[in-house]
Amino acid sequence: MTEPLDWRAQNLKSWNTRTPLHLASAFYDLEGWKKGACSLKPIEIEEVGDVRGLRLLHLQCHFGQDSLSWARRGASVVGLDFSDAAISAATALAAEAGLTARFVCADVYSAAAAVGETFDVVFSSYGVLGWLPDLDAWARQVAACLRPGGRFHLVEFHPFLYVFDEALERIVYPWDSPRESPIHTEENRTYADPETEVKLADVSWNHGVGAMATALLRAGLVLDSLREHDWMPCKLYPGSIEVAPGRYRIEKLLGVPLVVSIAAHRPA
């Protein structure tokens, strides 16, 4: 199978461009977080549970806000991301907040070697899998980073959302993208700061829920739960309506799943 040789470089450029805009955005509300607000959402807090005294690895952690929220909840945290701008920001944010965490700049496909240890919990959330062409390779890294008996938790936007155009009116993308046929998109704004014009070019792949679960099974993990949620914890799409505090649905897509969460563990 072939794939574009520049997909990592192209996406890295995009995420390094996004990072300073995200740090300053109301969407991430860093000032509120610095005053003690928790950036974690109800789904992951409920599913991951009490992390006090546990070693936790946050894969594709962006600039570390959620990683450090886990640290505030008592975990010993390592965060990993391929964006050097994001990892530099995460390290600075930890120092400013007086929190102990280690941040590693590496591709998720080399996570086990880059972090050099195993964990009680591996965690990843929201907008992470679409950047990866090969879920089997991803799942093997997840498994390699878990200690025997360790738990993996994924919370991801439901792939149903990714088949539509921006207006959520037409199906234009496949449910599962072939590895050799990535989706190329160009944007002039980032989701966290829709007011600032910025040129972004991304390469991505869609992955169905079945592909996610199957990749984890092939890597030797045991599935504990797979849940689909008809709400999302942030306002990202046109026509989003708040149906309860911190819970959003989309008017055009009422009654369909918007988030999927998967829990698995490595056999002892």
Per-residue pLDDT 10s for the chain (268 aa) are 344 458 999 999 999 999 999 999 999 999 999 999 999 999 999 999 999 999 999 999 999 999 999 999 999 999 999 999 999 999 999 999 999 999 999 999 999 999 999 999 999 999 999 999 999 999 999 999 999 999 999 999 999 999 988 888 889 899 898 888 999 999 999 999 988 999 999 999 999 999 999 999 999 999 999 999 999 999 888 788 999 998 999 988 888 999 999 999 999 9
CA 13 vs CA 17, 18, 94, 114, 185: distances in Å: 6, 9, 24, 21, 14
Query: Alpha-carbon distance 60 to 6, whole Å?
Result: 19
Query: Alpha-carbon distance 212 to 129, whole Å?
Result: 9
Please tell me the CATH superfamily of domain 7-265, with its number. Vaccinia Virus protein VP39 (3.40.50.150)
How many Cβ atoms are within 10 Å of 154's Cβ, its own excluded? 24
Query: Alpha-carbon distance 144 to 77, whole Å?
Result: 17
pLDDT on residue 5: 52
